[in-house]
Amino acid sequence: MNSFQITKKDKKTRARLGVLTTPHGVVNTPGYIFVGTYGRFLHLDHEDLKRTKSQIFIANTFHLWEKALKSKLKEGFIHKSFGFDIPIMTDSGGFQVLSLAFGDKNKVGKFMTGETTDPIKRTKIRITQKGVHFNFKGKKMFLGPELSMKLQRIIGADIIFAFDHITSPLDDFAYNQKALELTNKWAHICLKEHEKQSRLRKRSGEPRQMLFGIVQGGIYPALRKKSAKYIGSLPFDGFGIGGAYTKKQIAKVLKLIIPHLPEEKPRHLLGVGKVADIFEAIENGIDMFDCVIPTREARHGRLYTRAGYMDIRRGAYAKDKKVIEKGCGCPTCSGGISRAEIRALIKNVDREQNARGQRWCLMHNMWFFNQLLEDIRNSLGTSSYQRLKTKMLKNFPTA
RNA sequence: GGGGCUAUGGUGAAGAGGUUAUCACAGCGCUCUGUGGCAGCGCGGUCACGGGUUCGAUUCCCGUUAGCCCCC
């Protein structure tokens, strides 16, 4: 029921085309994975999502934790409770609890944008061999590999991730080395617990979930290489590449680790997906990636067109009767919804009106990225791929 | 014709005799990378004009102009 077939390999790069099959359908790769943290997309219903050509999405264990435990749905919680019948994956929650310590003040998140070089002080969380203790909304909580596997089994996505230890770009080699040891240890615990959970699922007739291991190692080549070799040798169904980076380091990291991962298994780049990143990742052998950018920016009124960004809130669009992008096949543009109409809605302080505006923006951006990926898949290995890449990099200069 | 009130960035407002004049909305620009939501950050003003009081006025006084209101 679960499988990954590589259908074509590019001769010049590490790029490949593939088909990932899950119990809820297939995913053509390389594919874009939108982030629906709470198991759904704000302002979009199931039909809306389908109309954006979305093949799959990713939700989050940390955010679904409580709801899943309270749910009376014993099997297939995530698909049943939100009514989506496409493939879904869940992140382990590791990133969420560990990045609590990164802190906003340092401007250190997944990417470092601040100037600071002060090391991270993890005062808000306590990391042990078993997992992460942290405070959340005034409550003492704990999440670790074993619990994450249990939760992800209950949530019931088609693909789940191992619980890993992400580091910050500000962590030194020694810290990254220690963190990597934990990630490796936790990988074993996840595999073991996953087998246990899979037997439970089998007993109730549920299909096996694919488990992806995660490569870490920060910005240190030696650690990345070591991590890729080690995690790649374990019996995971696929691999995620995790971590926080300074800008422009993703490509270097990918070049280093991809050769050490099993060719026949899918590779997922976690949390990265600006336009330029897409090409970089695919050419380095990535099959899928998730990113909040398309949906978050849509909610903020930044729309994507082949000619570049467009902030629909600008006054210039107040009386613009044109659609966002001529010839675009998205539900918004093909439905003839004008720029002026979308602008008026998204600028409206009324919650419902605003939500309607966000819905048009979301569907457009999601379509844009799905269509871009489809075009990439169709053109890979030909000169039109290069033309597409050149054009896109020119029109989306900000990484 | 007489009397009153007001005059602060694009708009609506706040403000105090003395360092970088406040807020909201609009405008413009930037940002968003393992996301919940009308986002965040930044840039636009010398406070109608002329004169006076004062060490010093956008803030006090007079006049001009404009707008609003009342009376004849």
Do residues A145 and A132 lie in contact, with contact meaning Cβ atoms separated by under 8 Å?
Answer: no
Q: How far is the CA of A374 from the C1' of B39 (A)?
A: 30
| A306 and A167 in a common domain | no
Do residues A155 and A90 lie in contact, with contact meaning Cβ atoms separated by under 8 Å?
Answer: yes
Kindly state the DSSP code that residue A107 receives in the 8-state scheme: T
Q: So what's the pLDDT on residue A113?
A: 65
The number of domains in chain A is: 2
| A224 and A104 in a common domain | yes
- Half-sphere exposure in the Cβ direction for A395 (13 Å, CA): 15
User: Is residue A358 situated within a structural domain?
Assistant: yes
| A120 and A247 in a common domain | yes
Using C1' positions and the CA of A291, the closest nucleotide is B33
Would you say residue A116 has pLDDT above 70?
no
Q: Which amino acid is residue A90, in one-letter code?
A: T
User: Is residue A229 situated within a structural domain?
Assistant: yes
User: Is residue A296 situated within a structural domain?
Assistant: no
| A140 and A206 in a common domain | yes
Helix spans in A71-103 (H): 77-82, 94-98
Do residues A271 and A243 lie in contact, with contact meaning Cβ atoms separated by under 8 Å?
Answer: no
Task: Report the C-alpha gap between A56 and A35 in whole angstroms.
Answer: 9
Using C1' positions and the CA of A248, the closest nucleotide is B33
Using C1' positions and the CA of A109, the closest nucleotide is B33
Identify the band that residue A107 occupies on the pLDDT scale cut at 50, 70 and 90.
Answer: low
User: Is residue A371 situated within a structural domain?
Assistant: yes
Q: How far is the CA of A364 from the C1' of B30 (A)?
A: 23
Q: So what's the pLDDT on residue A399?
A: 61
pLDDT tens for A34-50 read 999 999 999 999 999 99
Task: Report the C-alpha gap between A183 and A46 in whole angstroms.
Answer: 36
| A310 and A376 in a common domain | yes
User: Residue A67 to residues A78, A203, A255, A274, A380: CA-CA distances in angstroms?
Assistant: 10, 23, 39, 31, 42
- In this complex, the residue with its CA at the shortest distance from the C1' of nucleotide B36 is A42
Q: So what's the pLDDT on residue A114?
A: 62
Using C1' positions and the CA of A348, the closest nucleotide is B38
Using C1' positions and the CA of A214, the closest nucleotide is B34
- In this complex, the residue with its CA at the shortest distance from the C1' of nucleotide B38 is A349
Task: Report the C-alpha gap between A1 and A323 in whole angstroms.
Answer: 42
A290 has catalytic annotation: yes
Please give the backbone phi and psi of residue A374, each rounded to the nearest 5 degrees, phi first.
Answer: -65, -45
| A331 and A262 in a common domain | no
Q: So what's the pLDDT on residue A137?
A: 80
Q: Which of A104, A277, A290, A320 is catalytic?
A: A290
Q: What mean pLDDT is reported for chain A?
A: 93
Cα torsion through A291, A294, A297, A299, rounded to 10: -110
Q: How far is the CA of A203 from the C1' of B32 (A)?
A: 44
| pTM listed for this prediction | 0.93
User: Is residue A88 situated within a structural domain?
Assistant: yes
Q: How far is the CA of A310 from the C1' of B26 (A)?
A: 19
| A181 and A87 in a common domain | yes
Q: How far is the CA of A58 from the C1' of B63 (A)?
A: 73
Using C1' positions and the CA of A165, the closest nucleotide is B34
- In this complex, the residue with its CA at the shortest distance from the C1' of nucleotide B33 is A272
- Half-sphere exposure in the Cβ direction for A348 (13 Å, CA): 16
Bridge partners of residue A323, in order along the sequence: A338
ipTM for the whole complex: 0.90
Cis peptide before A169 (omega within 30 of 0): no
- In this complex, the residue with its CA at the shortest distance from the C1' of nucleotide B37 is A42
A277 has catalytic annotation: no
| A239 and A142 in a common domain | yes
Cα torsion through A228, A55, A157, A46, rounded to 10: 150
| A80 and A162 in a common domain | yes
| A312 and A275 in a common domain | no
Would you say residue A89 has pLDDT above 80?
yes
Domain span at residue A147 reads 3-291
pLDDT tens for A135-181 read 888 889 999 999 999 999 999 999 999 999 999 888 899 999 999 99
Q: Which of A91, A164, A171, A237 is catalytic?
A: A91
| A143 and A166 in a common domain | yes
| A173 and A99 in a common domain | yes
The protein footprint on chain B, as nucleotides within 7 A of a CB, is 26-39
Kindly state the DSSP code that residue A156 receives in the 8-state scheme: T
Q: So what's the pLDDT on residue A101?
A: 78
CATH number at residue A222: 3.20.20.105
> Final residue of a domain: which of A230, A258, A291?
A291
Task: Report the C-alpha gap between A147 and A170 in whole angstroms.
Answer: 28
Q: How far is the CA of A357 from the C1' of B7 (A)?
A: 40
Q: How far is the CA of A233 from the C1' of B15 (A)?
A: 70
Q: So what's the pLDDT on residue A110?
A: 72
User: Is residue A135 situated within a structural domain?
Assistant: yes
Task: Report the C-alpha gap between A218 and A358 in whole angstroms.
Answer: 35
